[in-house]
Amino acid sequence: MIAKRVLVIDDDDGVREIIRFSLEAVAGWEVLTATSGSEGLVKAHEDQPDAILLDVMMPDLDGPETFRQLQTNAATAEIPTILLTAKAKISEQKQFKELGVNGVITKPFDPIDLVEQIREILTWRE
């Protein structure tokens, strides 16, 4: 079976590394990374990942705006996207879901549980 390819867009080096290690070690997925929303838009278009994990709070282009731009591009509009956020309020999570993202994972997350959370949100069964 071909491994899933997940694009992680997060401006925090430590978070990107934790996610990369978790997804590669636990699920065997290929992890692509971008350090900003604008870099993520380019990589999503070029690499066509199976899913995107997108940080909400980033300088330059934040997560919701990056997601809106992904949605306006026919090449990236269908890529399932999960927001990563430190904003844990239910009302904020509801706003994010109303954007049309597939799901929201709150930080800090447990690296061991992260793969299962992603599989659940995207209904990926191996």
**Mind listing the pLDDT tens digit for each residue in 89-111?**
778 878 888 899 999 999 899 99
Q: What is the pLDDT of residue 112?
A: 87
Q: What is the pLDDT of residue 90?
A: 76
pTM: 0.94
**3-state helix/strand/coil string of the chain:** CCCCEEEEECCCHHHHHHHHHHHHHHHCCEEEEECCHHHHHHHHHHHCCCEEEEECCCCCCCHHHHHHHHHHCCCCCCCCEEEEECCCCHHHHHHHHHHCCCEEEECCCCHHHHHHHHHHHHCCCC
CATH class, range 5-116 = alpha beta
